[in-house]
């Protein structure tokens, strides 16, 4: 259920016709619906009613401050993967005490920022990271709250680029390694064992991989209890899929019920790290047709949005529904590729789409663009990134202004002011000292 529907023959975002927004803010334009965002969060939250839990929105999916604020006001926690994301959460009024910090490669300065801010937990993903966290915490005179991210070796049956819980993936540690590392952590005064974390992948459209991963990890929790190590929270990660096209992902209620059942015997707090399911269908990308053309036997609709705005089709071969903002009934139809202006053949938003005969100036709506849309956008071809608008009923506000050309060259310098670097300035570490750091 989302709030981008036809009213009087025109697609609206809640109560506002999309053409009005395109006129006011220009295109390409990301439009988000507050009602959809809130509804998705509440449905997921309610699905775990009766269980002590915290929904921690995975902000990588869409980190616009207005979206973070919307969730923060509902009492949301946040899942972050960088110091930059922590900065955003704090800027938006989110509480550090509700922040879960995941990711395989946290730098010292990021660890220090997180510890100073007082995050809820650091999800540690390797032995080397555990050692590093301990050093940074000690240096700051703090005790670092930690969980280990366990890799339960479950196939989430999704696109290989977004499967993260496979045995050979770079994420997490194996159950066997986790046992050993928890024992180390429990003895380290600079560390405080808080919980265990999982995340097996993204856009998962079945419940079974989730419950299987939870079951495997519960075995570890029991084993740890025998050793006197108490696991206070169980983070099941994110990954619940959405409908882009013909997928039939479980309803959040069914997912929540399955998580509840799988964790019925777990005595502690349950954390969730949903990204896509909260924001994916709460956003669309509005784009304007620039030209139509025909090459050989193929029709092309060239639009003003590109892979720089929505990279998912180019990157994962992902499908996003594309429809005219003002549909024409009973008109002539064409089958066309919807492509952007970027100089790459992979720059397409959709292939072989059945569309009405379009004219320059017509508007198209690319659906399900709320997750990993703007967040993965780039400035390739020196294209300014799109504006983002948040709609609430019949009101809209500019959540991010369109980049200007001046924004695009900020920080660059065309006049050389060279510095000379001497060879002596480079310090090469010996093998032995490198060994010590990783010990
Ligand atoms: N927690 C962790 C540790 C994650 O790595 C992710 C996503 C999530 C939670 C949220 O997963 P979600 O609920 O959104 O599935 N760019 C790709 C998706 C990459 C997901 C990366 N990790 C895409 O556009 O499909």
The per-residue pLDDT for range 99-134, each reduced to its tens digit, is: 999 999 999 999 999 999 999 999 999 999 999 999
Query: What residue spans define the domains of the chain?
Result: 1-33+276-433, 103-272
- 203 ligand 1 Cβ < 6 A: yes
Q: What is the pLDDT of residue 281?
A: 98
365 is catalytic: no
CA-nearest residue, atom 19 of ligand 1: 162
Return the CATH architecture of domain 103-272. Answer: Alpha-Beta Barrel (3.20)
Which residues, other chains included, contact 161 with Cβ-Cβ below 8 Å and sequence gap of 6+? Answer: 315, 316
Instruction: Please tell me whether the overall predicted TM-score, pTM, comes out greater than 0.85 for this model.
Output: yes
- 103 ligand 1 Cβ < 6 A: no
Q: What is the pLDDT of residue 130?
A: 98
CA-nearest residue, atom 16 of ligand 1: 372
Count Cβ atoms below 10 Å from residue 186 Cβ, excluding itself.
15
Q: What is the pLDDT of residue 438?
A: 47
- Could you say which residues of the chain have pLDDT below 50? 438-439
Q: What is the pLDDT of residue 433?
A: 59
Query: Ligand 1: which of 55, 58, 101 to mutate, judged by most atoms within 8 Å of the beta carbon?
Result: 58
| Catalytic residue from among 264, 343, 425, 426 | 343
Q: What is the pLDDT of residue 439?
A: 42
Q: What is the pLDDT of residue 331?
A: 82
Return the CATH architecture of domain 1-33+276-433. Answer: Beta Barrel (2.40)
Q: How far is the CA of 9 from the centre of ligand 1 (A)?
A: 35
Phi, psi of 171 (to 5 degrees): -90, 150
- 61 ligand 1 Cβ < 6 A: yes
């Amino acid at each position: 259920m989302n709030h981008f529907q036809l009213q009087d023959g025109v697609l609206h975002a809640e109560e506002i016709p999309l053409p009005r927004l395109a006129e006011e803010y220009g295109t390409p334009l990301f439009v988000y619906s507050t009602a959809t965002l809130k509804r998705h969060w509440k449905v997921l939250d309610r699905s775990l009613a009766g269980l002590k839990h915290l929904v921690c929105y995975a902000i990588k999916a869409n980190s616009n401050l207005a979206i973070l604020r919307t969730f923060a006001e509902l009492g949301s926690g946040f899942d972050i993967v960088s110091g930059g994301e922590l900065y955003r959460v704090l800027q938006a009024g989110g509480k550090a005490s509700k922040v879960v910090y995941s990711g395989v490669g946290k730098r010292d300065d990021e660890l220090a920022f997180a510890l100073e801010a007082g995050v809820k937990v650091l999800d540690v993903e390797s032995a080397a990271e555990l050692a590093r966290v301990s050093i940074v915490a000690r240096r700051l005179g703090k005790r670092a709250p930690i969980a280990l991210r366990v890799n339960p070796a479950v196939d989430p049956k999704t696109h290989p680029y977004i499967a993260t819980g496979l045995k050979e993936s770079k994420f997490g540690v194996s159950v066997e390694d986790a046992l050993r590392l928890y024992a180390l952590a429990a003895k380290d005064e600079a560390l405080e064992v808080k919980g265990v974390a999982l995340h097996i992948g993204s856009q998962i459209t079945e419940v079974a991989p989730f419950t299987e991963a939870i079951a495997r990890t519960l075995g570890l929790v029991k084993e740890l209890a025998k050793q006197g190590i108490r696991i206070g929270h169980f983070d099941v990660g994110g990954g619940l899929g959405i409908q882009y096209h013909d997928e039939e992902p479980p309803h959040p209620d069914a997912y929540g019920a399955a998580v509840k059942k799988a964790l019925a015997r777990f005595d502690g707090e349950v954390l969730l790290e949903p990204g896509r399911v909260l924001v994916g269908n709460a956003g669309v990308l509005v784009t304007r047709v620039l030209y139509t053309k025909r090459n050989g036997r193929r029709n092309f609709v060239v639009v003003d949005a590109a892979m720089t705005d929505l990279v998912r089709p180019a990157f994962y071969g992902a499908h996003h529904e594309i429809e005219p903002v003002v549909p024409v009934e009973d008109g002539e139809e064409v089958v066309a590729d919807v492509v952007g202006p970027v100089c790459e053949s992979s720059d397409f938003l959709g292939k072989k789409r059945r569309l009405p005969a379009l004219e320059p100036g017509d508007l198209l709506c690319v659906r399900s663009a709320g997750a990993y849309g703007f967040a993965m956008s780039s400035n390739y071809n020196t294209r300014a990134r799109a504006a983002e608008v948040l709609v609430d009923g019949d009101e809209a506000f500019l959540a991010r202004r369109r980049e200007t050309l001046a924004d695009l060259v900020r920080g660059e310098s065309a006049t050389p002011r060279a510095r000379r670097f001497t060879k002596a300035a480079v310090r090469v570490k010996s093998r032995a000292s490198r060994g010590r750091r990783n010990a």
